[in-house]
Amino acid sequence: MDMLNDKIERWYSMNEVCEYLGITRDTCLTLIENSGMPGIKVGRIWKFKTSKIEEWMQSGDKEIVKEKKVFRLGELFCGPGGIACGAKRARSNDGAYSIEHVWANDYDSDTCKTYRKNICPEDPNSVFCCDVRDLDIAKLEKIDAFCYGFPCNSFSNVGEHKGFENEKYGQLYWYGIEVLKAHRPEWFIAENVSGIRSAGSGDFEIILNDMREAGYKLNVNLYKSEQYGIPQTRHRVIIVGIRNDIPVEYKIPDPALYANCDISARTALSNIPNDSPNNETRKLSADVIRRLSYILPGENIWQAEERLGKDFPEDLKIHTKTKISQIYRKLDPDKPAYTVTAAGGGGTFMYHWTDRELTNRERARIQTFPDYFEFVGNYSSVRKQIGMAVPCKLSEIIITAVLNCFAGIDYPSTKANLEE
């Protein structure tokens, strides 16, 4: 809504005026009483005419100071803090709306230690390290914002892909529904892999319906990270829900804003400080180094074998029934990295174009974690944490958009690419 540029004479409701000015109803009533804000009361309903509001807004040195609002954030399946890191940096464009951490939950000990160390070092007890099934959701502190990347093991194209048939992981999304019902946050964000759309038999629609029945209007979109200035081809379904009784509509940030970003792996991995944490280089075997020497930047081993034919040494070939594209695949320095994964055996560790494995700090760079963000645990644990995380920058972009919507601030947007 752009009230001052609205050329059509019309009446606005108090909710519309409050949304535009970024104020509460109480503040609006105070302005009516003390500052001459023009409105007509019809029964119990206030109405505001376009021309009168415009005259009032443009008269004298009138400045509307937007009330500050800090959304209290809770998280399930929080991971090491990719969402939270982005949330802490997010602000509405006028600086009035922001986020604060209240509580988080994950089952992995190292992951929780990483979250505590970087997100809430002053309040470590706000991170509940336990199986979500043992968490007393109703007794958690009150929140008005909620994020969760529910486990994707049942939905990933490289996972079991059994949907709800996987009892261990497939139904864990429901605990997020319990949070929505118990705490009624004003908005929430849920994240999962792109494969969730086709997992099981109508599983995705069941999840969306459960979110709607909990009282939320949904915006469902497949976000391609590389379109948002992130140096990685990571595609994720992200659902933004806003409570039905709140007159706010979320709009997807237009990726065209990031079209000129340098998302090359070369830039992403450049100038890492020598003393950055988690930057140890793993020593590779002689055979792995030889194998990498035959692979060009951007290629995987299968492409190298096809290109070289008989010139590719027989003892360096990989003999498997399936040919996964990321096996011994090198980064192309002039393109974004391929998707950072959490686990996998030989050949899945991501490789630099200079014939070595990436460090965990380099993986974290690709996931847009700041260099000061320190992961806790051994090499494999840290690799897993980084691979499971939401890119910090993507979190910041989406949550900033949510805050702008609540602040009544317009921004370039695009339509959702997935049907509800």
User: Of all residues in the chain, what percent carry a pLDDT higher than 90?
Assistant: 70
Confidence band (pLDDT; 50, 70, 90) for 153?
Answer: low
* Strand, helix or coil for residue 147: strand
* Each residue's pLDDT tens digit, 44-64: 778 887 777 777 776 655 555
Alpha-carbon distance 306 to 296, whole Å? 12
Q: Cα-Cα-Cα-Cα dihedral of 182, 186, 191, 197, to 10°?
A: 90
Residues of the chain by 3-state class (helix, strand, coil), percent to 5: 35, 15, 45
Q: Does the fold of domain 69-262+390-414 match that of domain 3-58? A: no
Q: Which CATH superfamily is domain 69-262+390-414 in?
A: Vaccinia Virus protein VP39 (3.40.50.150)
Which residues are marked as active site? 152
* Strand, helix or coil for residue 72: strand
**Residue 169 above 60 pLDDT?**
no
Q: Please enumerate in sequence order all residues whose Cβ is within 8 A of that of 302, keeping only pairs 6 or more positions apart, or say none.
A: 318, 323, 325, 327
Q: Which CATH class is domain 3-58?
A: mainly alpha
Give yes or no for a contact between 71 and 189, defined as CB atoms under 8 angstroms apart: no
* Strand, helix or coil for residue 124: helix
Could you tell me the residue ranges of all domains in the chain?
3-58, 69-262+390-414, 281-358
**Residue 7 above 60 pLDDT?**
no
How is 283-301 classified by DSSP, letter by letter? PPPHHHHHHHHTSPTT--H
User: Of all residues in the chain, what percent carry a pLDDT higher than 70?
Assistant: 89
Q: What is the CB-side half-sphere exposure of residue 158 using CA atoms within 13 A?
A: 13
**Residue 337 above 70 pLDDT?**
yes
